A and B are shown apart, each in its own frame.
Chain A
C-alpha cells in the first residue's frame, strides 16, 4: 500500500463502492425465484417511467396506472426477455406501446391542439393538457414553466419523442436508437435539432 494512504474501514469499501447489480443479473435472480429482485428493478425505473408516461399523456394518475401496468406486463413476460437487448429498452418499449395505445384510445375524445396540417401523423400530436392536477401545479402561474411545456408540445412528433426519451426517460443515445430502430447518428442529429428548436422558442428564459 502506498505511503500516506489509510486502509478503508472493514467492509466500508464493499458497501460504498459496490457497483449496482446489472439489470440482467436481477432478471436472472427473479427468474430463479427471488421476487424481491424485481422490486429493485421497479425502484430503479419507476421515476423514469412515470416521468416518461406523464410527458406523453399529461395525466399523472394515468402515468402511474400505466407505469404499474408496464411493470406487471414485464414481470409476466420476464422469461421471454432476450438478454441480447437491454432491460431498459425492453421496458420502455412496453411503456411506449401502452402510451400510444392510450393516446389512440383517447383519440375520439381528444382534440388536436395544433398543427392539424402537420405531415407527421404521430399520435403524440393529439395530446391536450390534462385538467388533472399536475406536478407543474406549483408552476402554473410561472410563465417559464408554461413556456417550456408549450415549446416541447410544439416540436414535431419525432423530435418531441426523442427529447422526452432523452430528458424524461433518461435513456442513452444507444438505447433510444435501439428503441426507435434508428441509426445512432440520426438520433444524435434529431436530438440536436430538437434542442435547437427548444432553445429558439425558449430564448427568453435561457438567459442569465
Chain B
C-alpha cells in the first residue's frame, strides 16, 4: 500500500494488525511518536483488538478425536482411484469379450463357408461395424435434437411480428409482477414466523 497517500489512521490500523512492511512500520512509528491523536487512535484500536480476541471460543476437548472417529476407514479418494482403474479395465475387458465373441461367431461361420483365412478380418470388421453403428446413432440423435431446436426457432420467427411483440410484453409484465410479489411474500412468511413464535 502506498503509505504516502493513505489515511494515517488506516496505517495505524494496518500497523497494529501486522500488515505493514518493515520500512512502512518504522515510518509510522516516527509519525505516531509526534502525533497525540494517532497515539490515541493506536491505543483505542489496540484495545479493540484485545476485546475482539477475548470473544474467541475454543473447540470442545476431544473434538479432534471425535472428528477422526467420523472419518471413513478407507480413504474415499483411494476408492475413486480404484474405481477409475476398474472402469478402464472393465471397458477393456468388455471390448475384448466383444471382439472374442465376434471372432468366435465369425470363426464358426468361416468353418462352414470361406475357411479360416477370412475369420480374423470378419471379427475385426464386426467390432468396427458395431462401433460405427453406435457412433452413427449417437450422432443421429444429436443432429435430430438440434434440428428440433432449429425447427422451433424457425416456427417462432415465422409468427407475425405483432404476435412476437405481444408475447414479449406479456413475458416482461409477468417477470415484473413476479419480482414485485417476491418481497411481499417474504414479508408475509416472516410475519407468519413472528406469529408462530408468539
Instruction: Flag whether B53 is at the interface (Cβ < 8 A).
Output: yes
Q: Given A39-B64, A76-B76, A163-B52, do A111 and B59 touch, yes or no (CB 8 Å)?
A: no
Instruction: Flag whether B29 is at the interface (Cβ < 8 A).
Output: no
Asked whether A112 lies within 8 Å of B190 as measured between CB atoms, the reply is: yes
Shortest Cβ distance from residue B120 to the other chain A in the assembled complex, whole angstroms: 43
25 of the cross-chain contacts (CB-CB < 8 Å) are A33-B75, A42-B63, A42-B64, A49-B59, A50-B58, A51-B57, A51-B58, A68-B63, A75-B71, A75-B76, A79-B76, A108-B189, A108-B193, A111-B193, A148-B55, A168-B52, A168-B56, A173-B19, A188-B19, A189-B10, A192-B10, A192-B13, A195-B13, A202-B48, A206-B44
* Besides A144-B51, A191-B13, A199-B45, 9 new A-B residue pairs in contact (Cβ under 8 A), listed by A number: A79-B76, A79-B81, A148-B55, A167-B55, A188-B1, A189-B10, A192-B13, A196-B9, A199-B48
Instruction: Flag whether B165 is at the interface (Cβ < 8 A).
Output: no
Instruction: Please name all residues of chain B whose beta carbon is closer than 8 Å to the beta carbon of A47 when the two chains form the complex.
Output: 56-59
**Interchain residue pairs A-B with the least CB separation, the first 7:** A79-B77, A46-B59, A167-B52, A135-B57, A206-B47, A50-B59, A51-B56
What interface size band does chain B fall in?
35 or more
**Using a CB-CB cutoff of 8 Å, which residues 98-112 of chain A contact chain B?**
108-112
Instruction: Please name all residues of chain A whose beta carbon is closer than 8 Å to the beta carbon of B9 when the two chains form the complex.
Output: 192, 196
**Using a CB-CB cutoff of 8 Å, which residues 135-192 of chain A contact chain B?**
135-136, 144-145, 148-149, 163, 166-168, 173, 185, 188-189, 191-192
**Of all chain A residues, which has the CB nearest B196?**
A109
Asked whether B58 lies within 8 Å of A195 as measured between CB atoms, the reply is: no
**Partner pick for B77 among A31, A67, A167, A196, CB 8 A cutoff:** A31
Asked whether A42 lies within 8 Å of B68 as measured between CB atoms, the reply is: yes
**Partner pick for B193 among A51, A72, A109, A199, CB 8 A cutoff:** A109
What residues make up the interface of B, taking CB atoms closer than 8 Å to A? 1, 7, 9-10, 13-14, 17, 19, 44-45, 47-49, 51-53, 55-60, 63-64, 66-68, 70-72, 75-77, 80-81, 189-190, 193-194, 197
Q: Given A38-B68, A188-B19, do A67 and B59 touch, yes or no (CB 8 Å)?
A: yes
